[in-house]
Amino acid sequence: MKIGQLADKTGLSIQTIRFYERKALLAAPERTQSNYRSYSDEALKQLLFIKQCRALDMTIEEISLVLETRANPESSCESVNATIDKHIDDIEHRISELNALQKTLQSMRAACDDDKKIKECGVLHQLDSIVDSHCPTKRND
Amino acid sequence: MKIGQLADKTGLSIQTIRFYERKALLAAPERTQSNYRSYSDEALKQLLFIKQCRALDMTIEEISLVLETRANPESSCESVNATIDKHIDDIEHRISELNALQKTLQSMRAACDDDKKIKECGVLHQLDSIVDSHCPTKRND
DNA sequence: GTAAACTCTATACTTGGTATAGAGTCAAGC
DNA sequence: GCTTGACTCTATACCAAGTATAGAGTTTAC
């Protein structure tokens, strides 16, 4: 299978497949006489696995670790679980950050409506007041 | 005020301040005879405003737009509000993506515990089964 | 006078790709 | 046999939002 077919089957772009090869997520495939990459069904499976992990928002480094561990069927799956646990924690953390942000933005937005001029803009006033509170009082120098 | 002092007062790194100047968020300041940047209190305020916007996770492009609009006190603040609205929408969207992700990860994680070997790993099995369902049946060729 | 601390520019690196240029290869049609 | 279009190759540059470095010049403190 050539790279274009593999791209069609996986839904990944050709460049992305080559990118994963450079990142060593995907083993460098055989080449034809004309130096074209020639893939097996194994490569297809591997790519779909990677795609699935990316859909879970795992980083390439995390995926790399999981793939490496997976290659050794007798080893403990502790590190895979730890990767997922850490990932869950990271997302948890990010969600609560975004929730706090959302609250701030919404209350800021509530302070203004579209018919105002810039100098009266409630959103900008809120931003400014936060700045002023951090800003040292002006000195005459 | 030199760049180091400005960095201290804003809590931004020196590189970040120079980066914002390159991105035209911050006007290029006066220079001393020895070519050092020399900042006014206005620059400090501007940077704190930018920092606040970044804390709201606005992109540099969004901040750029807001700053540009802000410079014209008689214009309508509609575009500022629109920027915030779009930003709120984006975050909303991201939050629900992450929530869905979190659910998937948690149910995946629930399928395994740490005492298993890789070949028995519930997490990996779940990942594999998703892959298999997308993978064409093997042909002998 | 010298050493430490500061600043300058320019450049490379990060992540997860995407987009391009310029060259080579392959299959079909004439 | 030759051209045309589709495909592939490598290498390089680009995106956001910075961070990190090298190598040079400047200022400050002792």
Which residues, 6 or more positions from A71, have their beta carbon under 8 angstroms from its beta carbon? none
* CA A25 to mean position of chain CA atoms: 16
Report the CATH number of the B3-75 domain: 1.10.1660.10
In the predicted structure, residue B139 carries a pLDDT above the cut 60: no
Phi, psi of A26 (to 5 degrees): -125, 130
**Which nucleotide has the least CA–C1' distance to A54?**
C16
CA separation for the pair B14, A133 (Å, rounded): 22
Beta carbons of A101 and B57 less than 8 angstroms apart: yes
Q: B7-43, pLDDT tens digit by residue?
A: 999 999 999 999 999 999 999 999 999 999 999 999 9
A 18-57 residues inside an 8 A Cβ radius of B: 41, 44-45, 48-49, 52-53, 56-57
Q: What is the pLDDT of chain B when averaged over all its residues?
A: 90
Q: Please name the CATH architecture into which domain A3-56 falls.
A: Orthogonal Bundle (1.10)
Interchain CB distance below 8 Å, B70 and A117 = no
Beta carbons of B73 and A117 less than 8 angstroms apart: yes
> How is residue B134 written in tokens?
């997308």
- Which pLDDT score is estimated for B128? 86
- Which pLDDT score is estimated for A133? 65
* Residues of B 13-42 whose CB lies less than 7 Å from any atom of strand D: 13, 15-16, 19, 32-36
CA separation for the pair B107, A117 (Å, rounded): 50
Identify all chain B residues contacting A100, using CB atoms and an 8 Å cutoff.
none
**Which nucleotide has the least CA–C1' distance to B51?**
D17
The angle subtended at Cα A87 by Cα A82 and Cα A92, nearest 5°, is 125
Strand ranges for B32-124 from DSSP E = 37-38
- Which pLDDT score is estimated for B133? 65
Confidence of residue B114 (pLDDT cuts 50, 70, 90): confident
List every span in chain A annotated with CATH 1.10.1660.10.
Answer: 3-56
Q: What is the pLDDT of chain A when averaged over all its residues?
A: 89
Phi, psi of A51 (to 5 degrees): -60, -40
CA separation for the pair A64, B82 (Å, rounded): 41
Q: A35-70, pLDDT tens digit by residue?
A: 999 999 999 999 999 999 999 999 999 999 999 999
Mean pLDDT of A95-124: 91
Mean pLDDT of A12-36: 96
Strand D proximal to A2 Cβ, under 7 A: yes
